[in-house]
Amino acid sequence: MGLRFLVVEGNTRHARQAHKASYGLTQGESYAAVLQEIEPASLCDIALPADEGANLPDPSGLQSYDGIVLTGSYLNIYDRTPEILRQIDLMRAAYASRTPVFGSCWGLQVGAVAAGGDVQRNPLGREMVFARRLTPTEAGWGHAMLAGRPAAFDAPAIHLDLVTALPGDCTVLATNAMAGVQAAEIRQDGGVFWGVQYHPEFSLGEMAAILGRRGPTLLEEGFCRSPEDAAAFIADLQALHDDPARFDLAWRYGLDAEILDPARRTREIRNFIEARVKPEKSARGRA
């Protein structure tokens, strides 16, 4: 019997449609595809808590899943709009269900706020395209989520906000110069959450699609000097996605197998499945 996942899409309908128009899939659909590539027999449902009137599971319903995954989002959690509050409430229910949960970027922020932490805008600005020199903390070195990662590594990333106040029972597992919390384990109401501020689920092709919609941001925030520079960079990312053996492009942008090899790039998700989802499924008598 395959694993059953709930993918919680963090975006509003408009943002989902924009992502699908540029990439062919919503972020939720893309994340589900990553899970099914890792575990081909798995089944994935997608929840849309940003939508008013969405039919969302309660703690009992969440217990029927072997794992829950939270995607990224274009929202800012400190705005506390109804679209956001529904997601925080759903995360609190996920903690109470004691079902293993993993979150990327926005997912980490929701997991932190739902447990009593805080998230604000990063005073250092946006971390764009790649999170560089991610370094495990002392606790991170022995933690199953980062098993197989080297002493320093890069990962796809795009975020302006970051966790600024830790929840009560939180262990920071990785950090870098841009964010003090790049990976963490949070425990709340008997539940355990693993989250990262970066995006191990994003391929370079998906990142290229996102940047294609964010050309003005690349220019306004100084990442590129001209529209032509931005277009060339996006084209290089797509070319490297299509052919990871392009040493010239990998060298140009300082990328190694931690990003170019899909199995290594998605390491945290794979570790979540092996160390949290499968053992918990067995413990619940569903193996």
**For residue 285, pLDDT beyond 80:** no
Is 37 an annotated catalytic residue? Answer: no
Determine contact, residues 167/117, Cβ cutoff 8 Å.
yes
Is 241 an annotated catalytic residue? Answer: no
Q: Annotated catalytic residue: which of 29, 39, 83, 105?
A: 105
Query: Residue 120 gets which letter from DSSP?
Result: E
pLDDT tens digits along 221-267? 999 999 999 999 999 999 999 999 999 999 999 999 999 999 999 99
Is the whole-model pTM more than 0.75? yes
Taking the domains of the chain in order of start, what are their residue ranges? 4-201+266-283, 204-257
- Residue 59: the pLDDT is 85
User: How do beta strands 170-175 and 161-165 pair?
Assistant: unpaired
d(CA 230, CA 216): 9
Which residues lie closer than 8 Å to 258 by C-beta, 6 or more apart?
149, 150, 153, 154, 155, 264, 265, 267
Could you tell me the pLDDT band of residue 215, with boundaries at 50, 70 and 90? confident
Is 201 an annotated catalytic residue? Answer: yes
| Helix, strand, or coil (residue 243) | coil
**Class of 4-201+266-283 per CATH?**
alpha beta
Determine contact, residues 122/160, Cβ cutoff 8 Å.
yes
pLDDT tens digits along 19-55? 999 999 999 999 999 999 999 999 999 999 999 998 8
pLDDT tens digits along 86-131? 999 999 999 999 999 999 999 999 999 999 999 999 999 999 999 9
Mean pLDDT within 12-20 = 96
Mean pLDDT within 72-94 = 97
- Residue 214: the pLDDT is 84
**For residue 287, pLDDT beyond 80:** no
Mean pLDDT within 7-30 = 96
Q: Annotated catalytic residue: which of 201, 206, 258, 268?
A: 201
Which residues lie closer than 8 Å to 168 by C-beta, 6 or more apart?
115, 116, 188
- Residue 247: the pLDDT is 96
Longest CA–CA span in the chain (Å) reads 57
Determine contact, residues 154/143, Cβ cutoff 8 Å.
no
pLDDT tens digits along 141-187? 999 999 999 999 999 999 999 999 999 999 999 999 999 999 999 99
- Residue 286: the pLDDT is 58
Q: Annotated catalytic residue: which of 19, 143, 159, 199?
A: 199
